[in-house]
Amino acid sequence: MRQLSILFLLLVSFNIKAQELFVVTEPASNAPAGSISARVGQSLMKNQFDGGNIYALSPEVTWGVNKNLMVRASAYLNNMNSGLEYKGGGVYAKYRFFSVDDLQSHFRMAAFGRYSWNNAPVSSEAIDLMGMNTGYEAGLVATQLIKKVALSSTVSYGQAFDNNNYNFPDSQGKSAINYTFSVGRLMHPKKYTSYKQTNINTMLEFVGQTITADGKSFMDVVPSIQFIINSQARIDLAYRKELYSSMNRITSDGFFLKLEYTFFNVTK
C-alpha cells in the first residue's frame, strides 16, 4: 500500500509539474521535498568580441529542503582563456510563500536569492551572475499552471561587485533589473497512464535585462525541448537568440544542453 501511495504521488506530481521545469528560468514550484538532484549544464555560445565560441560548463546540486524551500550550489567553468578553467561558483535559494491549488490548475509565488563569485576579468556590460560576475540577485517569481500549459514570470534586482582581483569598470553600471517570461506545454503523453512514461515538453522563454544607471538593455528568446524520463532523468535542449541589445555583450547566441537526475526521499 505504501508503494502504491508513493507511485500515485509521483504520478500526480510529475503530471502537473513537468512543463514547469524551464531551461533558463526558474518557476515558483520547488524541487520535491527531501530530494537531491545533480545537474550538468553546458552551453556553446558565440564570442561577439573575437568571432569564436565559448564553451561553458556548470555542475549543480539542488536540495529540496521541504515543500516550500529549495537550495542549490553551482560551479562555473569556461574556456575563455587557454582551456576549460574554474571561474567561480554560486549559491541559490527559493522560498514558495503562496499557493492556490485546484484539480487541473494552480498558481504559485516564490521569493528567490542568489550570491555568486567570479575570478575572471569583467568583459561585458551585461550583468551575468551565472558565470561572469560577482554579486547578488533577489527577486520574485509567479507561475500559473492550467492543464498542460504553464506560464511563469520573474522580476529581480541584481548588483555586481569586483571580480576577485579584477575591478568592475567605472564606466559601466553595476546594478540591473532582470525580467523573464516563460510559457511551456506538455506535448507527450496525450494521456498520462504511468509515471514511467517519457514526458516531452516544449517551451519558449524570454530573458531581458536593463542596467539601472544608463538604461542599456537586451532581450533574448530561448526556444527549447525537454525530455523527462522515468520521472527522474531530464534532458534539455535549447537555443538562445538575441532579439535586440543596446549594450556590449561577450555572448548572446548559442546552444544549451542540460542533463539532470533526481534522487527522491533522500533526506526524509
> What does pTM read for this prediction?
0.91
Q: In angstroms, what CA-CA distances link 69 with 35, 62, 97, 195?
A: 11, 11, 9, 24
pLDDT of residue 183: 97
The mean per-residue pLDDT over the stretch 18-41 comes to: 90
- For residue 256, the SS3 value is strand
More confident residue, 83 or 259: 259
Interval 6-25: pLDDT, tens: 333 333 333 444 457 899 99
pLDDT of residue 11: 36
pLDDT of residue 82: 78
pLDDT of residue 215: 97
What is the C-alpha to C-alpha distance for residues 22 and 15, in angstroms, rounded to an integer? 15
Q: Please, which pLDDT band fits residue 152 given cuts at 50, 70 and 90?
A: very high
Range list of β-strands (E), the chain:
36-47, 53-64, 69-78, 85-101, 105-118, 134-146, 149-161, 175-188, 199-211, 217-229, 233-245, 251-263
Whether the pLDDT of residue 110 is over 70: the answer is: yes
pLDDT of residue 19: 52
The mean per-residue pLDDT over the stretch 153-179 comes to: 96
- Domain residue extents for the chain: 2-263
pLDDT of residue 51: 78
Backbone angles phi, psi at 167, to 5 degrees: -75, 145
What is the C-alpha to C-alpha distance for residues 56 and 41, in angstroms, rounded to an integer? 8
232-233-237 Cα angle (round to 5): 140
Interval 45-98: pLDDT, tens: 999 888 789 999 999 999 999 999 999 999 999 998 878 999 999 999 999 999
Share of the chain above pLDDT 90, in %: 83
pLDDT of residue 60: 98
Q: If one looks up domain 2-263 in CATH, what number appears?
A: 2.40.160.40
Residues 6+ apart with CB under 8 A from 244: 218, 219
Q: Average pLDDT over the chain, rounded to whole?
A: 91
Q: Cell numbers 551575468 label which residue?
A: 128
pLDDT of residue 8: 35
Interval 192-250: pLDDT, tens: 888 889 999 999 999 999 999 999 999 999 999 999 999 999 999 999 999 999 999 99
